[in-house]
Amino acid sequence: MCSARVTPDQPGERVGATSKNQVDASLSDTRGFRNQFRAWLENHRASCSDSVARLVRQPLGSFFTCLVMAVALSLPMGLALLLENVSQLGGSWQRAAQISLFLELDAGDTYGELLRDKIAEHEHVAEAQWISREQALAEFQEQSGLGEALRELPDNPLPGSILVTPEVVDKDTLVALLDELKNLPKVQQAQLDLLWIERLAAILHMGEHFIFALSVLLIAALLLVVGNTIRLHIENRRVEIEVIKLVGGTDGYVRRPFLYMGVLYGLVGGILAWLLLAFGLAWLNDSVVQLAQLYGSEFALSGVPIEDGFSLLLGAVLLGYIGAWLAVARHLRELSPR
């Protein structure tokens, strides 16, 4: 007998194997996503390159637009840095806001030094200095010109005192610290010039409000400058945009190069503003140092901190982007084909 060969009607499939159609579909999806992503990147690269080329073809107009943005950005930032430098004079203002603690006459040097060390450990105290009765009398004789008369006194009438330099110049903190210190043992009187502190706080508060109002006005002006500049670019490309929309171009496709243009304006304007601030503070610092030396101070203006510089760049880029978006959104409907 001869055995008949059995031929299957359909090809066999391995158990657990993925079907060929499923593999092809997954590969097709992956390749489709990659192609879409590459096309998206290429579209953005082309829009960015086109925006850079258009700005380079108009160097003078682009430079002056960026320069206007730089001046508008550097004014509030420069005032804020100056106010911060003034508020951080530190040593001079802290010493002007010193708290004077006058002890009772029977408090000796040993007790005064122990109390000074205890006060110096306070979290809101930067420094504490003990002035003995003998030292206070010697200083008073030297400064008042009554040395001969004071020598005729049978006893030293001046008490020992502790000069407390606060860590920060803040009215509420100083009031709380004064209340705490004047209740210490053998403290007869505690003095603090609160009127000077209130005046200083009012001046700084007024400066902060002025800088905030100026910043709001200049931000609005920047948005108008960027929006008007982008509007001119849109008008120059009106026919091109209408053709693109006729052949099915989306609003996002039309909007993209103008957004890149706004970002570039903001980036260059931010860099110029950073350079203006650095140069301006360095130029002003020479006069400030000379003036401070006349008063026996070593105060000098600090430059633009790195974090503030990058914040300035980020803010400039965002303003350019927002200004371009507003300008394009306003004119897209007008440019729709009819």
Q: Please give the pLDDT value at position 2.
A: 47
Give the side-chain half-sphere CA count within 13 A for 192.
Answer: 26
Would you mind telling me the total number of residues written for the chain in this entry? 338
Count Cβ atoms within 10 A of the Cβ of residue 294 and give its class: 0-12 exposed, 13-18 middle, 19 or more buried. exposed
Domain ranges of the chain: 44-89+200-332, 98-192
Q: Please give the pLDDT value at position 35.
A: 76
Topology given in CATH for the domain delimited by 98-192: Alpha-Beta Plaits (3.30.70)
Q: Please give the pLDDT value at position 148.
A: 61
Summarize the chain as % helix, strand, coil (round to 5).
70, 5, 25
Regions in the chain scoring below 70 on pLDDT: 1-32, 87-96, 143-154, 194, 197, 295-297, 333-338
Q: Please give the pLDDT value at position 45.
A: 83
